[in-house]
Chains A and B, each alone.
Chain A
Amino acid sequence: MLLLTCPCCGVTAEETEFAPGGEAHLKRFGPGSADEDYESYMFNRKNPRGVHFERWRHAYGCGKWFLAARDTVMLEVFGTYPAQTTEPPAEIVEKIKARRPDWEGYA
């Protein structure tokens, strides 16, 4: 059972109170974009074995979307942060580097 802290309302709760929303920081490609970009945006995912940035929604709480950094093998949650970002904030990256020295970094 994951324990997540919603950065919007500050509540820490079990994962059943949240709804997962897939990979975070996807760049949207809409009408008029190249087929490859649109396919990549719609379907192709990093699906890493290790550090993963992902979207969650505080479904049974404040209802807001937020982002989380989590390890998909150990299920360790490195931290959560607001959804209004295009890449992981520096303090989350530092936290991950401290826990996973061999992590390749966010790219």
Chain B
Amino acid sequence: MPRYSAFAIAREAFRQHKGWGEAWKSPEPRDHYDVVIVGAGGHGLATAYYLGHRFGIRNVAVIEKGWLGGGNTGRNTTIIRSNYLQDPSAAIYEKSRALYETLSQQLNYNIMFSPRGVMMLAQTEHEKRGYLRTERANALQGVDTRFISPAEVKKLVPIINLDGPRYPVLGALWQARAGTARHDAVAWGYARACSDMGMHVIEQCAVTGVESAGGEVTAVNTTKGTIGCKKLGIVVAGHSGALADMAGFRLPVESVALQALVSEPIKPCMDVVVMANTVHGYMSQSDKGEMVIGGGADGFNNYTQRGSWHHVEETVRALVETFPMISRLKMLRQWGGIVDMTGDRSPIISKTPLGNCFINCGWGTGGFKATPGSGWAMAELMAKGHSPLTDAFTLSRFREGRFIDESVAAGVAH
């Protein structure tokens, strides 16, 4: 495939942009692959990419029920940060954030990574104490975060109201190297790089069953026929339960809807990401000028990829208190995604009871930021049967009581 560069743009400008070609091929599936990955979202494609890039495993198919990156990859609020409390979380999220820094160059695809900084507001004394603890933990983990004063918050975010009626701002946990990226581009960039390595990215191909022999996976049944595989990776987020059911095991996962919305575009007014976890709202401004707003998740099991009105109201009400200037903004779009929540709010990247079948799920409300790190670790797990980044995230940790408790550390909003 042609390399993207400034020179390429100039060259194509002289021939009416007819030479670009497809970014990735859409082949028909072969009968057998070394590795089949189910789910062509960011995590699935990243897994395939690092299998090829790091371990030379290129006889790989990534199969997808819908279209590429059409699930949670295209439905999140694009925030990238790594200020987690527990060591295993900090390790994988920091790896991910570091990979994002050079991902555009690595993939030769502009993912528009913007390390604009993420600020998590402390609006109660308890939250302040919690973030001070996280700051110390991050210092030990080598993650660059700092607890900043209300005055520093105001300097970074002039539109903020520090003296809100319910929850005044008492400070914030600031990660300067965190930021945002273009979420679709992450999936597209990985897909293009995978296709370039000769891997097959097969869209519109739903899995209907998993075949096994002697306790090991042998093939997946799909709407495009049976595809044999030596190893199978299930990377399907909210629909993990259904796939696990086909593979014959159960997961400690429940699916709920998480939603977000964007306002009409306005002039640049805020160049950092602000998260207010006490009041369940977070906001950033996209490159187009829209205010991107996210809120809390539904409490009940839900497979509808849409949000509910009262969550919008709750989120927006909280943000209007913190940012009075947005009170008259019109909201343009609102959408929901299905997130897979585990009991301890940490992901599962693990072998499964079925031999040579691996699962990567349970990212809950914070999967986008982990995309490269998740793929990096999952690929290592699938290739070598073991990865230092995934050791703590096993499926068996629930039985053994080795939880990675992030529901308190990270708040509800991710």
Stretch at the interface among B3-11, B261-269, B295-303, B318-326: B295-303
Is B253's CB within 8 Å of the partner chain A? Answer: yes
CB-based contact B250/A44 at 8 Å: yes
Is A63's CB within 8 Å of the partner chain B? Answer: no
CB-based contact A20/B300 at 8 Å: yes
List the A residue with the shortest CB-CB distance to B308.
A1
A-B contact list, 29 entries, CB within 8 Å: A15-B300, A15-B308, A15-B310, A16-B310, A19-B299, A22-B254, A36-B399, A39-B399, A42-B343, A43-B343, A43-B398, A45-B241, A45-B251, A45-B252, A46-B241, A46-B250, A47-B241, A47-B251, A48-B241, A48-B301, A49-B303, A54-B300, A72-B255, A72-B302, A72-B304, A73-B303, A73-B304, A74-B304, A75-B302
Q: Given contacts A22-B254, A39-B399, could you give 18 more A-B pairs where the C-beta distance is less than 8 Å?
A: A1-B308, A2-B300, A15-B300, A16-B310, A20-B300, A23-B254, A39-B252, A43-B342, A44-B250, A44-B252, A45-B241, A47-B255, A49-B242, A49-B255, A73-B303, A73-B304, A74-B304, A75-B302
Least Cβ–Cβ distance between B413 and chain A, in angstroms: 19
Least Cβ–Cβ distance between A69 and chain B, in angstroms: 12
List the B residue with the shortest CB-CB distance to A55.
B300
Is A12's CB within 8 Å of the partner chain B? Answer: no
Residues of B within 8 Å of A39, CB to CB, are 252, 398-399
A25 to B74, CA, bound (A): 36
Least Cβ–Cβ distance between B377 and chain A, in angstroms: 22
CB-defined interface of B201-244 with A at 8 Å, one 1/0 digit per residue?
Answer: 00000000000000000000000000000000000000101100
List the B residue with the shortest CB-CB distance to A43.
B252
Q: How many residues of B contact A (CB 8 A)?
A: 22
Is A85's CB within 8 Å of the partner chain B? Answer: no
One of A1, A48, A52 near B310 (C-beta < 8 A): A1
Least Cβ–Cβ distance between A71 and chain B, in angstroms: 9
Least Cβ–Cβ distance between B167 and chain A, in angstroms: 21
One of A1, A42, A70, A75 near B309 (C-beta < 8 A): A1
Residues of B within 8 Å of A15, CB to CB, are 300, 308, 310
CB-based contact A52/B301 at 8 Å: yes
CB-based contact A45/B299 at 8 Å: no
CB within 8 Å of B: which A59-76 residues: 70, 72-75
Dominant SS among interface residues on chain A: mixed
CB-defined interface of A6-43 with B at 8 Å, one 1/0 digit per residue?
Answer: 00000000111001101100000000000110111011
List the B residue with the shortest CB-CB distance to A2.
B300
Residues of B within 8 Å of A47, CB to CB, are 241, 251, 253-255, 301
CB-based contact B254/A45 at 8 Å: yes
A16 to B309, CA, bound (A): 11
Residues of A within 8 Å of B241, CB to CB, are 45-49
CB-based contact B239/A49 at 8 Å: yes
A16 to B300, CA, bound (A): 12
List the A residue with the shortest CB-CB distance to B240.
A47
A49 to B239, CA, bound (A): 8
Closest 6 CB pairs of A and B: A43-B252, A20-B300, A47-B241, A20-B299, A39-B399, A44-B250
Q: Say yes or no: A45-B253 contact (C-beta < 8 A), given A19-B299, A20-B299, A72-B303.
A: yes
Least Cβ–Cβ distance between A27 and chain B, in angstroms: 14
Report which residue of B239, B251, B399 has the largest number of chain A beta carbons within 10 angstroms of its beta carbon.
B399
Least Cβ–Cβ distance between A57 and chain B, in angstroms: 11
A98 to B250, CA, bound (A): 28
A20 to B399, CA, bound (A): 25
A46 to B250, CA, bound (A): 8
A38 to B343, CA, bound (A): 14
Residues of B within 8 Å of A73, CB to CB, are 303-304
One of A35, A40, A52 near B250 (C-beta < 8 A): A40
CB-based contact B343/A72 at 8 Å: no
Residues of B within 8 Å of A49, CB to CB, are 239, 241-242, 255, 303
Residues of B within 8 Å of A75, CB to CB, are 302, 304
CB-based contact B301/A72 at 8 Å: yes
A43 to B301, CA, bound (A): 14
Residues of B within 8 Å of A16, CB to CB, are 310
A46 to B300, CA, bound (A): 13
Least Cβ–Cβ distance between A37 and chain B, in angstroms: 10
